[in-house]
């Protein structure tokens, strides 16, 4: 059966490698926590399999990269691409606060159980437990604020990719960021409100893929599986 969507542009969601707070489950937004040695190994392992000429992420087919300003995301970028490649794609790399992690406000550095206990003490959540997708973060961001900045990036990506929906030119895009914000991005990519239930997992150092159906920019989709042999 022929691949009817072959050549369609893709967006690669790359989560930074493990940090000490990833291990403990603490909410890590603005805190600049470095990768652990194992976190660097996670990213390097992904690089060996999927990054390089003729592989899934082929630097020659990249049109743009959106990278979080946090050290853990910057280091992930450095591991994914060697110095020569970083120089070649440097003009396409954009470090932007629009793809930073969710602003957790009062919840920075806490565990979910601690957040819920604290909110209960303050008389909140009398009918159901706290849920970031619905309730946002005290002194941090609401879901609507997160969606607004993610939609700006999505609009930029669609402008880049729309003219080349049949593979006329390599216009793949990479986003290197964080666990919550990348899952939020995936929801907005397919037009979901952030409060809509869509359980997703993205391990540290892992790669997710988004694309389009039928070579149409107005039909964004998840790409549930990719051929590991590349393009």
Residue 83 assigned to a binding site: no
Tens of pLDDT, residue by residue over 4-28, are 556 899 999 999 999 999 999 999 9
**Domain contains 71:** yes
Specify the pLDDT at position 2.
40
**Domain contains 109:** no
**Residue 168: which CATH number?**
3.40.50.1240
Q: Distance (Å, rounded) from C-alpha 71 to C-alpha 11? A: 22
**Domain contains 118:** no
Number of domains within the chain: 1
Specify the pLDDT at position 226.
66
Residue 72 assigned to a binding site: yes
Tens of pLDDT, residue by residue over 29-59, are 999 999 999 999 999 999 999 999 999 999 9
**Domain contains 84:** yes
**Domain contains 15:** yes
Reduced to 3 states, what is the DSSP secondary structure of residue 198? coil
Residue 168 assigned to a binding site: no
**Range of weakest confidence among 60-69, 203-212, 219-228:** 219-228
Is 101 among the residues known to form the active site?
yes
Single out the catalytic residue among 18, 40, 101, 141: 101
CA-only gyration radius of the chain, Å:
18
Statement: residue 228 has pLDDT above 70? no
| Nearest CA-CA partner of 9 in 230, 212, 197 | 212
Q: 85 — phi, psi (to 5°)?
A: -65, -40
Q: Could you list the residue range(s) of the whole structural domain that residue 161 is in?
A: 11-104+141-222
**Domain contains 98:** yes
Residue 103 assigned to a binding site: yes
| Torsion sign (Cα): 120, 124, 128, 132 | negative
**Domain contains 123:** no
**Domain contains 4:** no
Residue 164 assigned to a binding site: no
| Torsion sign (Cα): 214, 46, 183, 157 | negative
């Amino acid at each position: 059966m022929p691949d009817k969507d072959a050549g369609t542009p893709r967006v690669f969601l790359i989560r930074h490698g493990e940090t000490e707070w990833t291990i403990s489950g603490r909410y890590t937004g603005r805190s600049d926590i470095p990768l652990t040695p194992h976190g660097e190994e996670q990213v390097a392992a992904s690089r060996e399999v999927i990054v390089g000429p003729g592989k899934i992420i082929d630097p020659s087919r990249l049109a743009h990269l959106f990278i979080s300003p946090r050290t853990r995301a910057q280091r992930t970028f450095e591991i994914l691409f060697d110095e020569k490649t970083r120089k070649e794609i440097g003009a396409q790399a954009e470090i932007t606060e629009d793809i930073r992690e969710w602003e957790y406000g009062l919840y920075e550095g806490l565990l979910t159980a601690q957040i819920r206990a604290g909110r209960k003490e303050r008389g909140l959540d009398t009918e159901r437990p706290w849920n970031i997708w619905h309730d946002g973060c005290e002194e941090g961001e609401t879901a609507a604020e997160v969606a607004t900045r993610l939609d700006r990036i999505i609009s930029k990506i669609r402008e880049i990719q729309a003219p080349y929906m049949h593979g006329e030119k390599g216009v793949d895009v990479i986003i290197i960021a964080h666990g919550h914000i990348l899952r939020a991005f995936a929801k907005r990519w397919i037009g979901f409100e952030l409060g809509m239930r869509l359980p997703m997992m993205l391990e540290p150092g892992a790669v997710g893929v988004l694309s389009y159906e039928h070579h149409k920019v107005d039909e964004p989709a998840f790409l549930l599986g990719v051929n590991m042999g590349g393009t």
